[in-house]
Each structure stands twice: as C-alpha cells, then as structure tokens.
Structure 1
Amino acid sequence: MSHKKAVEALNRTLQYLRSNTCVINNVMGGMVVLLAGDFRQTSPVIQKGTPADEIKACLKSSILWNKVTKFSSTTNMRVHLYNDINARNYADTLLKIADGRLETDAEGCVKLTRDFCNLVQNHSELIASVYSDLTNNMQEDKLLCEKAILAPKNESVNKINSDILSEVAGEITEYLSVDTEQSTSYPVELWW
C-alpha cells in the first residue's frame, strides 16, 4: 500500500546518509533493505485518483523496481504447522480468485459459496453476523477488538459506522483532529 515515493525517498535518504562510505548512485546507499508484502493486495490510495493513478503510485512502477530481488513464499505456514484444512481451502480459493481461475457469472463477477464465506444480503445482516448481540456486548473490549468490518469504499464504511452507532445507547462524543499546519510562536529546530 505504500506509495512508491516513500521508498524512493528512503533510497535518497540512505544515499545521502552513507555518502561518505558509498558511491552516491548505489541503491539504498549500498545497504540491504528488506521489503515484505503481498502485491495482490490493496494498491496505494490516491485521493480523487483514477485506477491509473494508483498503478503509477505502486512500487512496481518505481525506477527502483528493476533493482529489487524478488522472493516468493511457497508454503502456507498456518496450513503447514497446524494442518488446518479450512485454512488451506480458504488460501487455495483466494489464489484462484487472484489468478482468475474461479468461475464467474455472466457479468464477470466471482461466484462465492457459503463454504468459503458467510454471504449476507445487506449492511444490517453483516453487522449482526460480525457483532452478534452488539447492545449487550458493547462493554466487552476484547470481543470488539477481535472483530472488524472492512469495506472497499468510504461511503460503505460511513453507512456501516452510522448503522452500528445507531444501535449504541448513550451520549455521542465527537473528537476532531487537525489536518492542517499550525503556526507556532517559538522556533523549531530540525536535526538530521
């Protein structure tokens, strides 16, 4: 999910910091940097961007990508260590979806089955499935911390959050953050 410019900035910083011992053109200042991730997951989020903007922001689009040595894990350790058949089936289905090998309908949508996931028809059913008996379990921190609903669009997140909050009794407190620079009356020192 990281923007390619973050890794490129790290590259320039390491080159700068190690300029006294390495040639300035060495990638990452001549240091070995380990990057780990799954490139089949979420692309960088670009506000008001198009899918093309997200692809351009991906690390694979960086000038550094051809200098990366790629390794792929081939063993699902959860399945291997615990012999978890359900985890194996789930992982295999995810790979089939990613590889485009799973059956689709006439519109090109993947057909998910109940043995792969719990299918729901609407937000209310989803909330009830994930947060069963929310009203009575609201004070159970451990229970709430173990669950989450992920959604691909902010409008879905906002709707689900509103639906959940409407079920919660009590006073609502809103905490706002500041996302602009604040001027200060004292000097700020930056150390590099």
Structure 2
Amino acid sequence: MGKITVLLAGDFRQSLPVVPRGTRADEVKACLKPSILWPHISVLSLRLNMRVHLQHDSRAEEFSKLLLNIGDGQISQVEGRIHIPDSLNIVGDLITLIDKIYPNIHQIEVGCTSWLTEGAILAATNDSATTLF
C-alpha cells in the first residue's frame, strides 16, 4: 500500500516567508513543519542546472554559479552589497539600464502606457526604487 512518488521542489533561499524582526532560524522554523512523514522521505539534490547546461552559454553558466554562491553565503559583502563581475553587467549605469528596458521612454504619448507592461526594473529596496525617478 502507498508507494506514491511525490516531487517537492523549491529553493528555500528564494522562498522564505517574511517573519517580522525574526532571525534566520525563525524563518527556517516557519518553513519546516513537523510531520510523521519526514522519516519516510528521501531527499535527492539536483546538481546540474539543465536549462543553463543545454544553452551552452558561458555567461548564463557564470550567472547561475554566482546566484548559487550568493544563496550559499559564499560571496563577500561590503556594506550589504555584493560585487557583480563586469562580464555579467549588460549596462554600466542607471540611465542606460532604463533605456535598455524602456527605449524611447521620453517620447511616450499621453494615455499610451500599455507598452510599459512589457518590461520591468526590479528594485530591492524603496530607496533603490526612488533613485529611478
């Protein structure tokens, strides 16, 4: 009886719940719930990012490794910031970034804003978002 295969996927580094004023331990505790099923579960860790592997793109592979190293806490920080290698930077400054995501933004016609939904610039903090304006 039983023998049901269930795939549980996720990256705890990316999907932690928000625990106001909580520690890292509080976040992990909020994710993992006690269950009588845990002793019967086999954990298999994937080691190769197939999407990157099949692209044969060295920049995509470098970026993938950088993200894993950031998630594992292996990248040094200076004042809470990490350095992204120049080889991964597509643009060098904020103005060029905005122009890359929203070309000709200064020529937009009033009332014609539907094209804004075709791109996005994500900011990690409100202060970062404020500098975009």
Q: Give the TM-score range, shorter chain.
A: 0.5 to 0.7
- Structure 1's 51 and 126: CA in aligned 2 closer, same or farther, altered over 3 A? farther
Distance in 2 of aligned mates of 1:71 and 1:56: 21
2:17 is matched with 44
Aligned length: 126
For residue 140 of structure 1, report the CA deviation from its aligned partner: 6.1
Give identity over the alignment, percent: 33
* Rg (Cα) greater in structure: 1
- Distance in 1, Cα, partners of 2:60 & 2:29: 33
Aligned CA distance change for structure 1 residues 98 and 82 (closer, same or farther; 3 Å): same
Candidates 57, 61, 68, aligned match of 1:95: 68
Structure 2 residue 40 is the aligned partner of structure 1 residue 63? no
CA contact (8 A) 1:78 1:84 kept: no
Q: Give the corresponding residue for 2:83.
A: 111
What is the TM-score with the length of structure 2 in the denominator? 0.63
Q: Cα distance, 1:63 vs. partner? A: 0.8
Query: RMSD of the TM alignment (CA)?
Result: 3.8
Structure 1 gap ranges (5+): 1-21, 23-28, 164-192
Unaligned runs of 5+ in 2: none
**What TM-score does the superposition give when structure 1 sets the normalisation length?**
0.48
Alignment partner of 1:130 is 2:101:
yes
Q: CA deviation at 1:89?
A: 1.1
Distance 1:152 1:71 in 2: 32
